[in-house]
Amino acid sequence: MATPSTKTSNVSPVPPKEEQETAVHPGSQQWQWGLLWGLVSPVFLGIVPILAKLAYAAGVNVLTVVAFRTGIAAALMWSGMLIFRRQLIRSSLPAVVGSLIAGAINGLGSIFFYTSLTRIDASLGQLVNISYLVFVTMFLRLAGQTISLLTVFRTALTIGAIYLLTRGGAGPADWLGVGMMLFAAITYAVQLVLSQRIMLDIPAPTMTLYAITAMAAVVTVAWFFAPTDLTQVSTAGWQAIGFMALVTALSRLTLFLGVKAMGSIQTALLGVFEVVVTIVIAAVFLGERLTMMQWMGAAVLIVSIFLVRFEKGVPRFVDWWQFLWRNLLPRK
């Protein structure tokens, strides 16, 4: 069983295939803690779209919500680390750079995520976004140079589910909004898969710190291209943004703790619960309802996600540095 490297200056070699495919033993304390964090993270993630809808209802525009939600979350992480875990701030350059890259990718995706929520319901958005669970398997297989028939079948099911979810709405289909959410799901899957390799050389709180810092930098740059008058933001708007920032910091920290303990696929599977959280809260507070066709699409999507249990030979770990070095970087 692969164990995280205690060295922060060296790149870990590619583990044997049997180590790549073996998860942390379910009976171990590490797995139990990972299960806890993996269950808590979807609760936080499921609340975020609802808070975003409340901020929009208070008159706050998308980029202001995204920029200040992420910026405040990054400030909270830095404050907490400086006060309680200062020793975890320093790490190796490759690990920090990798965390920044993963965070920047997710930051770009978050812009599409929150823009999409201005066009489609929160419950529909979360159902489309949960397709990142299928993309995780695809990316792990892509790095391993093999795509199974089951992976292809699951991808086809996902596409069909998204079609049902989009066409089955009570109003006209908003393909642009769904497309933006799908792009956000892809970037989130990339971050999830990259994070597992990065955290062989870096603790989960450290990766969270630098990933969310890069997210904040990306969305803040975007905000400066279209700044708004902050004095016009209502108290209700700032309250929604503040709660979003706290939930964002907690969701990223618990997510990476889960990935480090259980791996990206197992943690991603638990992410299904964020859809349940969003649908229930959206129904209670926003009055959103899914149509019969959308419930059918949701059922097909959930089936596609849980078919991952029958996937064979999916690497639990991929050494992305070695993959990039061997396949993508130019050679002299």
pLDDT tens by residue, 197-206: 787 778 878 8
Does 331 reside within a domain?
Answer: no
How many domains does the chain divide into?
1
Does 204 reside within a domain?
Answer: yes
> Which residues are CB-neighbours of 301 under 8 A, at least 6 positions away?
127, 130, 131, 157, 158, 161, 162, 165
For residue 13, what pLDDT is reported? 39
Q: Which residue has better confidence, 283 or 317? A: 283
How far is Cα of residue 87 from the mean position of the Cα atoms in its chain?
A: 26
Does 1 reside within a domain?
Answer: no
Q: Per-residue DSSP letters for 168-207? A: TSSS---HHHHHHHHHHHHHHHHHHHHHHHHTTSS-HHHH
**pLDDT for 16 beyond 80:** no
Does 212 reside within a domain?
Answer: yes
For residue 303, what pLDDT is reported? 85
Q: What share of the chain is helix, strand, coil (3-state, %, to 5)?
A: 75, 0, 25
Q: What is the mean pLDDT of residues 75-81?
A: 92
For residue 245, what pLDDT is reported? 92
Q: How far is CA 3 from CA 239, 246, 268, 319, 330, in A?
A: 42, 31, 20, 13, 31
**pLDDT for 173 beyond 80:** no
Q: Per-residue DSSP letters for 200-227? A: TSS-HHHHHHHHHHHHHHHHHHHHHHS-
The string of pLDDT tens digits covering residues 250-266 is 887 887 777 776 666 66
Proportion of the chain above pLDDT 90, given as a percent = 27
- Show the domain range for 257: 25-319
Does 45 reside within a domain?
Answer: yes
Angle between helices 29-57 and 62-84 (to 10 degrees): 140
Q: Are 133 and 274 in contact (CB under 8 A)?
A: no
**pLDDT for 28 beyond 80:** no
The string of pLDDT tens digits covering residues 213-232 is 999 999 999 999 888 888 88
**pLDDT for 331 beyond 60:** no
Does 234 reside within a domain?
Answer: yes
Does 6 reside within a domain?
Answer: no
For residue 122, what pLDDT is reported? 87
The pair of structure tokens assigned to 156 is 């086809």
Average pLDDT, whole number, for the chain? 79
Proportion of the chain above pLDDT 70, given as a percent = 77
The string of pLDDT tens digits covering residues 275-316 is 778 888 888 888 888 888 888 988 888 888 777 677 676 655
Quickly state the pLDDT bin for 12 (edges 50, 70, 90): very low
As a whole number of angstroms, the distance between CA 70 and CA 217 comes to 9
Helix and strand numbers (H, E) in the chain are 14, 0
Give the residue among 329, 318, 308, 325 at the shortest CA–CA distance from 142.
318
Does 64 reside within a domain?
Answer: yes
For residue 218, what pLDDT is reported? 96
